Amino acid sequence: MSRQKQAASSVATETQLIARAQRGDEEAFAALFEAHKRRVYSLCLRMIGNPTEAEDLTQEAFLQLFRKISTFRGESAFSTWLHRLAVNVVLMHLRKKGLNQISLDETENSQGEPIKRDYGDEDRRLVGSIDRIGLNRAIAELPPGYRTVFILHDVEGYEHNEIAEIMNCSIGNSKSQLHKARLKLREWFKEHQGEQPKRSPAHAANESKESE
Amino acid sequence: MLVPAGLLMAAGPGSTEKDIPTSPTPRVSISNVAGKVVVKGWDRLRIHVAYTIVSPNTAVDTEQVPPQGAADKVRFLTYTTDRTEPVPNPTVDYVLQVPTGASLEIQNPQGSVQTDSVRGDISVESLGGNVSIVDSAGHLSIRSVAGNIEVIRPAGRVEASSINGNLHFVNSTSQRLRGNTTSGTILYEGDFVPGGSYVLSDYSGNITILCPPSASFELDAKTVRGKLDNQFPMVPRGPKSFLPPGNSIFGTQGGGKATLEVTSFSGTIHIRQQ
Amino acid sequence: MREERQESNRKFGCQEFDANLAAYLEGEENSDLRSHAEECSACGILLDDIEAIRSAARELPLESPSPRVWSNIRATLAQEGYIREQESFWQRWAGRITFGPRMAPVAALAFALTLAIVLLFHGDIQQNVNPAPALPSVAERATPVSLSDVQTNLIRTVQGMEENYKAREASLDPSAKQVYAAGLASLDSSIRECMESLRNQPENMLAREYLMRAYAQKAEVLASALEYGGR
């Protein structure tokens, strides 16, 4: 089956599942959960850093979705709707915890500043030295706004127009936040280059004893 | 381990031996009532069966499909020859050697079942007899009412269920293992496979898990009235709400690569290091 | 090797590189930027570093939540009435059990055990969505436990089978009878305990699961016994 056909076929199946869920079919709820749980949970986990909280938030996102499923009319892709819910649940949670939010519509002053560069030797390239644990740590240390866009785009593969819908911001904002997120991550790796890979508390449980 | 032909039980009085050529993966079914059923895998493309009829007025019927040439399906059926005076427990002891790729379907309500090195799917139904499955690779489905079930080194999916019998799993490399008993105990010895899913559940018996200190699993353990005894230093996880009443542990050990769900109503759940 | 920062009077220098980098990474072709990256080691490294980060991000695995998450979602949805009761294994099963010799005893056992295993491992247990008239327990007629229609049907079916079984018990082979009796006794004991738990804690889902599982298993054992005795 061509990719387009596959995509179309899975949308058709999902449409059926949504219709069944709207009628209270438990199996349909379960199937929708199964289809999206990993993306939602991974998103929450990377945003929050704590598996327990991430599970709570995943649960909350799905519950909100399922409670409202009768109102879904297919105006946007189901997964976009779900991810928007999930992102909102996470951001709300962060707000409650009193963490500073960077609104995605704020423009930053850093526009004119030159990007930091390494004028040292070529051995300090990052290629080949970015490990999963380090990347997770680096992502965890990004400000929430950058973190969200980076996760949605570079990790989860959403396009900017989808991110704009999810985050309720402009496409331009999404692009600029992404760029800044990547630069910040690069800075992080530069600062931590040469360190023994430490385990972040959030991911130690999931990633200890990984074999290379 | 395959049994050399020389060790096969010699046919004695009341014993019959047969050889049936088969395909590499024949489906073999044995429908017995009482007596032992022993099946071992070997590297020949035939079944060698030796059965001993123990009770009177009892016979064994052998059917194969196709009737000539290498059989794809073979069935052994124990039955009573005298309809006017049926034997309550027709008893036949079976010893079979089958191609390792064979799949088995065995019914032996009152007798015991043992298989060794048979790598196709295995289904066993028993009432009171014990069941022992060693070195299987296919889908295992074992059901008993009172019999104990022992599964050693399974590599394929496992589903084992008894009411009063005990379950014992050793050195599984299965990706998916389920064990359930009502009043029996469950003993799981060995490591967990990354990505594997293990569900062990009983009612009143104890459940003991003995795994290496390096084991990696996410644990959901809960009991209504029983106790929990855990030797592993787990990282607690799980939502703060919706804790069920009774004792429970939700934790991640060593990276949480497998998932382990253990439930007992009133038994004690032990999770210990080997 | 130190690379001097390119003079700003060059046509495409590091400043231009910075200004155009975001767009380039978004897929906008820019041969000047590429050439500059090849000539300027610092910018080249920067570009490679960003690509490395993107590549690593793409390869980050998806994590799975624990089974707990779905159980809780499901329980909440059921409690809030978002899940409609529909014909399930319970109803289909209860309709299918007969009292005559049809399946071989072990096949009946197999069917029923399959059901129990499915119910056990797939959680296909109806929640108490519509509180039905409460059914007194088998053992005591004390404070009734609230059950759904489907659960009640199953329990009634099992009671019917048990009466049937008691009528035929004597004709069973003694060793088989012993096994069945012991199995039923264990299950009855678990049923009593679960009922008691539910009377004290009606919201105890685990006890409810165990209760229905025990009834399903009891049905299996009775079905098997009835078939066995009918041979």
Query: Residue A131's pLDDT is what?
Result: 84
Prediction ipTM score: 0.77
Asked if the structure places residue A190 within a domain, the reply is yes
Query: Residue C78's pLDDT is what?
Result: 83
Site from B30, B83, B149, B265 to mutate, C interface, most C CB atoms within 10 angstroms? B265
Looking at the predicted structure, is the pLDDT value of residue B17 above 50?
Answer: yes
Asked if the structure places residue A206 within a domain, the reply is no
H-run or E-run covering B46? strand B46-53
Chain B CB contacts of C106 below 8 Å = 107, 109, 125, 127
Rounded Cα distance between B89 and B46, Å, is 30
Handedness of CA A122, A124, A129, A132 (dihedral sign): negative
Cα–Cα distances in angstroms (integers) from residue B98 to residues B27, B72, B101, B124, in the given order: 10, 12, 8, 16
User: Whose structure tokens read 């965890």?
Assistant: A140
Lowest mean pLDDT among B39-53, B89-103, C88-102: C88-102
Domain range for A191 is: 126-196
Asked if A10 and A68 sit in the same domain, the reply is yes
Asked if A187 and A147 sit in the same domain, the reply is yes
Contact B164 C105 (CB under 8 A): no
Cα–Cα distances in angstroms (integers) from residue A183 to residues A113, A158, B86, in the given order: 12, 19, 85
Contact B241 A52 (CB under 8 A): no
Looking at the predicted structure, is the pLDDT value of residue B104 above 50?
Answer: yes
Query: Residue C156's pLDDT is what?
Result: 86
Contact A42 C72 (CB under 8 A): no
Please say whether the beta carbons of C91 and C97 come within 8 A: no
Q: Quote the minimal CA–CA distance from C228 to chain A in Å.
A: 36
Asked if the structure places residue A119 within a domain, the reply is no
At residue C214, φ and ψ (nearest 5 deg) are -65, -40
CATH number of A192's domain: 1.10.10.10
Using alpha carbons, select from C111, C230, C125 the residue that is nearest to residue C169. Answer: C230
Residue type, B181: T
DSSP letter, residue A72: -
Query: Residue A85's pLDDT is what?
Result: 87
Contact C231 B86 (CB under 8 A): yes
> pLDDT higher for B234 or C142?
B234
Asked if A92 and A159 sit in the same domain, the reply is no
Asked if A39 and A92 sit in the same domain, the reply is yes
Nearest to B239 among C72, C183, C193 (CB): C72
Rounded Cα distance between C164 and C113, Å, is 20
Q: Quote the minimal CA–CA distance from C162 to chain A in Å.
A: 32
Chains that touch B (3 or more CB pairs under 8 A): A, C
Contact A24 C3 (CB under 8 A): no
Asked if the structure places residue A135 within a domain, the reply is yes
Report yes or no: A109 at the B interface, CB cutoff 8 Å.
Answer: no
Asked if the structure places residue A201 within a domain, the reply is no
Report yes or no: C104 at the B interface, CB cutoff 8 Å.
Answer: yes
Asked if A12 and A86 sit in the same domain, the reply is yes
Rounded Cα distance between A204 and C88, Å, is 42
Contact B145 C204 (CB under 8 A): no
Q: Return averaged pLDDT per consecutive 10 residues of chain C, 231 residues in all.
A: 48 89 91 92 91 91 88 86 57 34 43 47 37 40 65 84 87 86 93 89 81 86 75 47
**What pLDDT, in 10s, does the model give residues B112-144?**
999 999 999 999 999 999 999 999 999 999 999
Render each residue's pLDDT in chain A as its tens digit; 212 residues.
Answer: 455 555 555 665 777 788 888 888 888 899 899 989 998 999 898 888 888 889 999 999 999 999 888 777 766 678 888 888 888 898 888 877 765 554 544 444 444 556 666 655 556 778 778 888 889 889 988 988 899 999 999 998 888 988 888 888 899 999 999 999 999 999 999 888 766 554 444 444 444 444 33
Nearest to B252 among A59, A205, A209 (CB): A205
Contact B240 A207 (CB under 8 A): no
Contact C67 B259 (CB under 8 A): yes
Task: Report, as an integer, the average pLDDT of B63-76.
Answer: 91
Contact B220 C109 (CB under 8 A): no
- Give strand ranges (E) for C17-73: none
Contacts of B4 (CB under 8 A, 6+ apart): none
Contacts of A132 (CB under 8 A, 6+ apart): A207, A210, C56, C59, C60, C61
Query: Residue B222's pLDDT is what?
Result: 87
Nearest to B255 among A52, A59, A205 (CB): A205
The two tokens of residue C179 are: 């096994």
Nearest to B256 among A55, A56, A205 (CB): A205
Rounded Cα distance between C100 and B9, Å, is 41
Using alpha carbons, select from A100, A103, A105, A63 the residue that is nearest to residue A85. Answer: A63
CATH number of A88's domain: 1.10.1740.10
Task: Report, as an integer, the average pLDDT of B13-41.
Answer: 93
Asked if the structure places residue A113 within a domain, the reply is no
Asked if the structure places residue A117 within a domain, the reply is no
Q: What is the domain count for chain A?
A: 2
Please say whether the beta carbons of C127 and C148 come within 8 A: yes
Report yes or no: B241 at the A interface, CB cutoff 8 Å.
Answer: yes
Q: Quote the minimal CA–CA distance from B57 to chain A in Å.
A: 52
Query: Residue A143's pLDDT is what?
Result: 87
Contact A56 B235 (CB under 8 A): no
Query: Residue A119's pLDDT is what?
Result: 58
Please say whether the beta carbons of B232 and B260 come within 8 A: no
Asked if A92 and A140 sit in the same domain, the reply is no
CB atoms within 10 A of CB A100: 9
Q: Indicate the pLDDT class of residue B91, thresholds 50, 70 and 90.
A: very high
Query: Residue A113's pLDDT is what?
Result: 55
Asked if A68 and A13 sit in the same domain, the reply is yes
Rounded Cα distance between B191 and B242, Å, is 30
> pLDDT higher for B32 or B84?
B32
The two tokens of residue A101 are: 């939010």
Contacts of C114 (CB under 8 A, 6+ apart): none
Asked if the structure places residue A205 within a domain, the reply is no
Chain C CB contacts of B250 below 8 Å = 66, 68
Query: Residue C91's pLDDT is what?
Result: 37
Helix (H, G, I), strand (E, B) or coil at A78: helix
**Residue that is last in its domain, among A49, A77, A96:** A96
Query: Residue A157's pLDDT is what?
Result: 85
Rounded Cα distance between B154 and B165, Å, is 19
Query: Residue B57's pLDDT is what?
Result: 86
Please say whether the beta carbons of B94 and B29 come within 8 A: no
What string of DSSP letters covers A153-183? IIIT---HHHHHHHHTS-HHHHHHHHHHHHH
